[in-house]
Structure 1
Amino acid sequence: MKLITVQSGEAGVRLETSEGIMHIGWCTPGIARIRYTLNAELSGKESLMVVSRPEAETVPYTITELPGHLQISTAQLTVEVDKESCAFSYRAADGTLLTREPARGGKTLERTEVYHTVFDASADTVETGQGADGLRARAEGVKRRLDREAFHTKLEFEWQEGEALYGLGSHEEGMMNLRGRQQYLYQQNMKAVVPVLVSTRGYGILVDSGSYMTFHDDAFGSYLWSDADEEMDYYFIYGPEFDQITAGIRYLTGEAPMLPKWSFGYVQSKERYVSQAELIAIVQEYRERSLPLDCIVLDWQSWTGNLWGQKTFDPERFPDPSQMMNSLHAMNAKLMVSIWPIMGAGGENHEEMKAGGFLLGNQATYDAFSEEARALYWKQANEGLFAHGIDAWWCDCTEPFEADWKGAVKPEPEQRLLINTAESKRYLDPGLINAYSMQHSKGIYEGQRAATSAKRVINLTRSAFAGQHRYGTITWSGDIAANWGTLRKQIADGLNFCMTGSPYWTLDIGAFFVKNPKEQWFWSGDYDEGVADLGYRELYVRWFQLGAFLPMFRSHGTDTPREIWQFGQEGELMYDTLVNYLKLRYRLMPYIYSLAGAVAHRSYTMFRALAFDYREDVQVHAIGDQFMFGPAFMVAPVTEAMYYGPGSRELEGVLKQRRVYLPEGEWYDYWSDERLEGGVTIEAKADLETLPLYVRAGSIVPLGPDVQYTDEQPEAVTRLKVYGGKDAAFTLYEDEGDNYNYETGAYAMIELSWCEADRSLTIGKRAGDYAGMQAVRQFAVELAGYAGSRIVTYEGEAVIVREADLQR
């Protein structure tokens, strides 16, 4: 492919080649948009993913013509184009090579025919059935009709030696560094696709494609391939730090809004609470035991009988939904309700959707790509559920056409790819099958935002897509099974998800499937006795310790109960350990909510792979079982049994410790305040009570009191614990907690800074205010390693506390 002509303008640079047209545009000085087509013109397609289009920006750039190539440069990034092959190389402003395509060129387009399915109304054959993850409906008697031509796209790279790659969403294999790996990108239970790669060389790649994709870095090559696109369309994002890359991704795909403060507290769920009386009784017991709780979840079948997906309460089991909500709210608890995009025949919601022509070809799943259908779906959810006062949505099964959750043998990866994508393409445009979840989320978000600004949208989804986070979503990892290998893999899966710019991810604490009936491949837990098995109790405690440091702290699953008291009684090791970590989560709430403020206001990421903060340390590149939780904490979950195997079999000779890598710098053991030098791997204490937990020197951690729910005791003293050793800074963020007034400036920030040279903490002047703000408050300043503290009365003006004011 030879370069023929070059045309430049405000929108970017158009390259006429011997094999099509390429265009390089600039969104910012560090973000380039690259498009390529074999057609006479670029498509001008509307993106579902990207909200900030490059055409809206005017970015200065220069073109330098050299003997063998062009250099198209901004102040931060250069794209070099080889004149003979049109191979691209990407360089930082100082000339550092970031990555490049193969010398022969790295962009391939192959024309492909795109078909849509025509459902034969005369046949009118729809098969329905219920699997382990809900109702499924499949239409027969269909024909295929040619819709248009599109392209298979293939984008190749030559990665650099020692370069690590991350991202692509949350999958189930536990891959951390994606080098030398392959991944299939299609939506499915336990697969949440976000087509983003992030590199330790300091750049990211966002592919604007809604079709299924594959990633390869193996014997078949190093590339991203997509199935059906109007053109090749991707963004190259320069950092070089990961926080800068994820900020660039959110610049393109939208910022993440504030979630309600309560959503960072403990969320109790299981499959399933069946009645109004049971929901109220569970919350009452949490309160009677003085166990913190902010939300309880009503899983599937809140509807009447077999009216699957109907968005109303069964009047027999939920006789007075409004009174139920009043009772829960009186106990300072919220309710999250599961809703589905698929609806069984016979329900009012289904009939209304059918009458409007808003159902897809299986006559059960609504068309989330239709604005009118989304509006009707919200109307139904509002009238049937939200009007009663529910607080949060659980949009389950947002990859509605999964088709391989059956049989005793798990299909091979390539089989699963073909089975599931074929089923999705049966009902959806092949170029959009990965985007259903985002459009479904959009409808919920826009509907609730239009209904009220007093209650923030929060939506727990099983699937994801680039940009979905802008609709108030948290993605969880699907219906996983209870075993130690799954626990270990989940950490890397979640970290990769959050490196795609989507900040909120969680999992089922304790796993969804606990038993193993051996009849279905996915129902593969190791503990047939459930919570009665001491082996499961140990696994659950370790999972709970991890969950205390995730963006959402939520227990859920089937087969066995999940409430704290199911794991023992007060005075017993496992019960007491669960309670300790439950209370720790709540003491950390000022820190956690400040991180949420940083997510919304500074494009921050709270659940962080070590490469976020130690990108150039090659030793962290493959570590998938440690992570940073905000700037201060490094968490090293225990992911192997130390006490019991399945069947309550007692283990012998297992050391109660785990290996932990401490990156360069100084660290504090959170539990003892012992100072440790970094750059080494240590054997950390890891008995059941102890999650290996470290605080980075140069950290300030705000802590709250023991509370029963997140907004209890707003007037309480806030502890500010300083971990010295180097200068430190932290922004304490506060707002009203559950409305959108922050969007118009109703929030407050207090800059905290520690000066190591003169050993002093400055509590800065408060910036901003909001309704209900504590104008006068008290801080207790502590220094790690010191026994004493100093109480400071703070009235919004700067206060300095020196080491001499504290006692050892």
Structure 2
Amino acid sequence: MKGGTIVKLIATHSGTDGVRLETTEGIMHIAMYTPGIARIRYTLNAELSGKESLMVVNHPEAESVEWKVTEQTSHLEISTALLTIQVDKETCAFSYRDAVGALLTREPSRGGKTLERTEVYHTVFDASADTVETGQGADGLRARAEGVNRRLDREAFHTKLEFEWQEDEALYGLGSHEEGMMNLRGQQQYLYQQNMKAVVPVLVSTRGYGILVDSGSYMTFHDDAFGSYLWSDADEDMDYYFIYGPEFDQITAGIRYLTGEAPMLPKWSFGYVQSKERYISQAELIATVQEYRERSLPLDCIVLDWQSWTGNLWGQKTFDPERFPDPSQMMDSLHAMNAKLMVSIWPIMGAGGANHEEMKERGFLLGNQATYDAFQEEARELYWKQANDGLFSHGVDAWWCDCTEPFEADWKGAVKPEPEQRLLINTSESKRYLDPGLINAYSMQHSKGIYEGQRAATSEKRVVNLTRSAFAGQHRYGTITWSGDIAANWETLRKQIADGLNFCLTGSPYWTLDIGAFFVKKMKEQWFCNGDYDEGVADLGYRELYVRWFQLGAFLPMFRSHGTDTPREVWQFGEEGELMYDTLVKYLKLRYKLMPYIYSLAGAVAHRSYTLFRALAFDYREDVQVHSIGDQFMFGPAFMAAPVTEAMYYGPGSRELEGICKQRSVYLPAGEWYDYWSDERIEGGQTIETKADLETLPLFVRAGSIVPLGPEVQYTDEQPDAVISLKVYGGKDVSFTLYEDEGDNYNYEHGYYSMILMTWSEADRTLTIGKRAGGYAGMQAVRAFAVEIAGQAGSCMVTYEGEAVTVREADLG
């Protein structure tokens, strides 16, 4: 049923009490959380449900927001200083307008909110072991139980929220999927958790607003012949937030205001992370790190993938004593080489292990008698205790929470099921064990348990949790989401860029992928093993693809290589003096050179709700030329990268390609740009052809940028007292804040960090390094800066003692 006609208006002026509309078809409620954020709820019941939200944090200060209700002949207006919601009295159709009355978006004139009652069932299981089928596939251990009965749990609603989007409007968000859609206009998407789907129910529009739907059920998005709407499967009420920006940074800040801020990740997590399926022993882990150090190749973390446990005790959170005879000594050895260890842990546990038995005895397993119930607080606490006792207590630094969509069921067979089949297969399997209204939220609760457990154990190590699924607000638990087990081909590389950009547009700032893809080879009997390179790293075609993927990875929030089928260490791609090897080393070292810039932006993520990995619409929202560009992006405020996503040298089987121009087209938005490699100054507002040979990732710097650069190091914190180069790209006034803290504890939450505001004046051609604000233990009281200006010869050394210093262009030697 739709909203109907308003029969009674009840308005209070105590903030989130808001406006209650009693209609011929249910109750609507509008509350203003900030001048730019409205919460809208709708039910056919006598009262709203009062459900507890998993994604939205409490904001009691919202009660101080000033708003008013104005009654017009045909409609009501609920207004703040930034946002007006108009409600048609006859149909309850909503229109959203900014402070000057410009239309942002609206519902169809007949009304855009539909509720349909639906029955929600839960499955009753026989807990005996002989009713559970277990087996191991490409995606790890799976356990399945047939229910003995289905019982009615409650009544809920299918919800449908319709819009009439504007002709020039682009839409983004919904999480990270596998289709490579950038602009979602004219598309459809299914929102359920699966190996290569990480769901965040957020839309962001170039008209200057965002929509956050507070639903844990599976959803669908349509902007096609079937309509323009968001649909959810099982909700207690329709419950969503309208967030006005108009700029994307303001919208994502609004999303994080609602769902929680992203904490600081440790500095080392922005360095290079070496992973593969899999390092099998303590000796191999240590030897690999030693090789990186001997070759003077930067590295900050190595990853221990699945099966750290003994034998077939899948998911047991302890080290196999034969392959890892002394875990504490292993961690001491890795730490002595200034390397961290990330360990893979799973929510599913095989029978026979102590962790499984303890969970079972406490009644903390779901119906398959293998996956723990992350929605129970006590179960989360026990899961953390097991991880702490078996792994963290030995010195493990970070978590890889794999398979956090534990009930996917379509990773089998030679033919990939059709999208609608996959939707039914996976959601039916999830609803067998989880509440249908919460099947998208498992990863959130799993992440919560890890974060709260580690925070309670120590404040000396920041939580890092690499996880395959996502949900709105999960970022507040120190998570980085990766895109799943993708296949090695150029099409996948190209699509992944848009997938990641859309993920970060939902307000979740940390996303990454498997550099080089997980599956490199093709297996006809498994549809997902769809790589193009059966010879693995021996194939020059794969080496070229890997180099291009590595170049992209150097400009992602987490820089991590991973996959199966073939080795991944840098030296597997050649030796010093060879093109492939030398190019990998070039971008590996560039990542570390940029560390002062990257870590400063990580500070901005935590302290200013910033987004590091940015679709062009973040900075050029009104330029329609950028709306559908899914293979270029901003990396912070200064850099624009345009990765190469097609083969130029070799095809599969080391087949040499001929006649291919080593260039690519790049769109430069309006303004001036610098080619990073040459400092050539280029006018924007045009598409150019630029050099793109194997050594060259097309990389541009926006005129009006200050980029702090560090020395050549082997790990992120090797030279804390080193000279920091400040490279100014002139052309307009600009400022940049250099952020520093202790790097790997939570003292920054208590104000222990420093910020130095740096300002470039184009008119005066001067750089002012401002007075340092704040401080922390171990801070370099005296710093050396080397100032240079792009396109100008020479530099100027500055001794900085915390007070403001001005450098003029004439001071450059």
TM range (shorter): over 0.9
Secondary structure, aligned partner of 1:492: helix
Q: Deviations over 1:294-348 (max 9, x none)?
A: 0000000000000000000000000000000000000000000000000000000
Aligned position for 1:7: 10
Identical pairs, percent: 88
- Asked if 1 retains the 8 angstrom alpha-carbon contact of 2:447 and 2:479, the reply is yes
Task: Give the whole-Å Cα distance in 2 for the aligned partners of 1:803 and 1:24.
Answer: 55
Q: Which residue of the other structure, out of 685, 697, 704, is the alignment partner of 1:698?
A: 704
Q: Which residue of the other structure, out of 800, 803, 806, is the alignment partner of 2:809?
A: 803
Aligned position for 1:99: 105
Secondary structure, aligned partner of 1:743: helix
Q: What TM-score, normalized to structure 1?
A: 0.99
> CA offset at residue 58 of structure 1?
2.4
Task: Give the whole-Å Cα distance in 2 for the aligned partners of 1:349 and 1:91.
Answer: 54
Q: How does 1:230-309 map to 2 (within 5 A)?
A: 230-309=236-315
Q: How does 1:653-732 map to 2 (within 5 A)?
A: 653-732=659-738
Alpha-carbon distance change, 269 to 30 in structure 1, aligned in 2, over 3 angstroms: same
Aligned position for 1:595: 601
Alpha-carbon distance change, 44 to 803 in structure 1, aligned in 2, over 3 angstroms: same
Aligned position for 1:181: 187
Two-structure CA RMSD over aligned residues (Å):
0.7
Greater shift in the superposed pair: 459-468 or 49-58: 49-58
- Asked if 2 retains the 8 angstrom alpha-carbon contact of 1:124 and 1:141, the reply is no
Structure 1 gap segments, 5+ residues each: none
> CA offset at residue 79 of structure 1?
0.4
> CA offset at residue 229 of structure 1?
0.1
One-letter amino acid matched to 1:197: L
Task: Give the whole-Å Cα distance in 2 for the aligned partners of 1:421 and 1:275.
Answer: 37
2:362 aligned with 1:359, yes or no? no
Task: Give the whole-Å Cα distance in 2 for the aligned partners of 1:216 and 1:739.
Answer: 43
- Asked if 2 retains the 8 angstrom alpha-carbon contact of 1:183 and 1:214, the reply is yes
Q: Deviations over 1:443-486 (max 9, x none)?
A: 00000000000000000000000000000000000000000000
Aligned position for 1:222: 228
One-letter amino acid matched to 1:539: L
Q: Deviations over 1:90-123 (max 9, x none)?
A: 0001101000000000000000000000002468
Q: How does 1:417-496 map to 2 (within 5 A)?
A: 417-496=423-502
2:215 aligned with 1:212, yes or no? no
> CA offset at residue 57 of structure 1?
2.6
Aligned position for 2:796: 790
> CA offset at residue 54 of structure 1?
6.7
- Asked if 1 retains the 8 angstrom alpha-carbon contact of 2:32 and 2:62, the reply is no
Q: Size of the alignment, in residue pairs? A: 807
- Asked if 1 retains the 8 angstrom alpha-carbon contact of 2:742 and 2:753, the reply is yes
Aligned position for 1:387: 393
- Asked if 2 retains the 8 angstrom alpha-carbon contact of 1:123 and 1:140, the reply is no
Q: How does 1:14-33 map to 2 (within 5 A)?
A: 14-33=20-39
Aligned position for 1:397: 403
- Asked if 2 retains the 8 angstrom alpha-carbon contact of 1:25 and 1:54, the reply is no
2:515 aligned with 1:509, yes or no? yes
Aligned position for 1:528: 534
Secondary structure, aligned partner of 1:434: coil
Task: Give the whole-Å Cα distance in 2 for the aligned partners of 1:357 and 1:522.
Answer: 35
One-letter amino acid matched to 1:511: A
Task: Give the whole-Å Cα distance in 1 for the aligned partners of 2:509 and 2:734.
Answer: 24
One-letter amino acid matched to 2:477: Y
> CA offset at residue 709 of structure 1?
0.1
Secondary structure, aligned partner of 2:64: coil
One-letter amino acid matched to 1:340: W
Task: Give the whole-Å Cα distance in 2 for the aligned partners of 1:384 and 1:542.
Answer: 38
One-letter amino acid matched to 1:394: W
Q: Deviations over 1:158-198 (max 9, x none)?
A: 00111000000000000000000000000000000000000
One-letter amino acid matched to 2:10: Q
- Asked if 2 retains the 8 angstrom alpha-carbon contact of 1:673 and 1:784, the reply is yes
Q: Deviations over 1:652-700 (max 9, x none)?
A: 0000000000000000000000000000000010000000000000000
Structure 2 gap segments, 5+ residues each: none
- Asked if 1 retains the 8 angstrom alpha-carbon contact of 2:451 and 2:478, the reply is yes
> CA offset at residue 279 of structure 1?
0.0
Q: Which residue of the other structure, out of 624, 633, 646, is the alignment partner of 2:630?
A: 624
Q: Which residue of the other structure, out of 766, 771, 775, is the alignment partner of 1:769?
A: 775
Q: Deviations over 1:478-526 (max 9, x none)?
A: 0000000000000000000000000000000000000002110000000
Alpha-carbon distance change, 54 to 224 in structure 1, aligned in 2, over 3 angstroms: farther
Q: What TM-score, normalized to structure 2?
A: 0.99
Q: Which residue of the other structure, out of 318, 343, 348, is the alignment partner of 2:349?
A: 343
Q: Deviations over 1:126-164 (max 9, x none)?
A: 000111110000002421100000000000000011100
Task: Give the whole-Å Cα distance in 1 for the aligned partners of 2:60 and 2:79.
Answer: 15
Q: Deviations over 1:184-228 (max 9, x none)?
A: 000000000000000000000000000000000000000000000
Task: Give the whole-Å Cα distance in 2 for the aligned partners of 1:365 and 1:479.
Answer: 21
Secondary structure, aligned partner of 1:768: strand
Secondary structure, aligned partner of 1:57: helix
- Asked if 1 retains the 8 angstrom alpha-carbon contact of 2:37 and 2:241, the reply is yes
- Asked if 1 retains the 8 angstrom alpha-carbon contact of 2:127 and 2:369, the reply is no
Aligned position for 1:411: 417
Q: Deviations over 1:52-76 (max 9, x none)?
A: 3478532111111111001110010
Task: Give the whole-Å Cα distance in 2 for the aligned partners of 1:106 and 1:522.
Answer: 39
One-letter amino acid matched to 2:58: S
Aligned position for 1:316: 322
Task: Give the whole-Å Cα distance in 1 for the aligned partners of 2:358 and 2:128.
Answer: 21
Secondary structure, aligned partner of 2:427: helix
Secondary structure, aligned partner of 1:72: strand
Aligned position for 2:74: 68
One-letter amino acid matched to 2:722: A
- Asked if 2 retains the 8 angstrom alpha-carbon contact of 1:341 and 1:366, the reply is yes
Aligned position for 2:640: 634
Secondary structure, aligned partner of 1:676: strand
2:335 aligned with 1:332, yes or no? no
Aligned position for 1:165: 171
Alpha-carbon distance change, 227 to 773 in structure 1, aligned in 2, over 3 angstroms: same
Task: Give the whole-Å Cα distance in 1 for the aligned partners of 2:150 and 2:653.
Answer: 53
- Asked if 2 retains the 8 angstrom alpha-carbon contact of 1:510 and 1:544, the reply is yes
Task: Give the whole-Å Cα distance in 2 for the aligned partners of 1:31 and 1:642.
Answer: 48
Task: Give the whole-Å Cα distance in 1 for the aligned partners of 2:186 and 2:812.
Answer: 53
> CA offset at residue 728 of structure 1?
1.1
Task: Give the whole-Å Cα distance in 2 for the aligned partners of 1:379 and 1:646.
Answer: 47
Secondary structure, aligned partner of 2:134: strand
- Asked if 2 retains the 8 angstrom alpha-carbon contact of 1:51 and 1:253, the reply is yes
Aligned position for 2:125: 119
Aligned position for 2:611: 605
Aligned position for 2:149: 143
Task: Give the whole-Å Cα distance in 2 for the aligned partners of 1:662 and 1:489.
Answer: 21
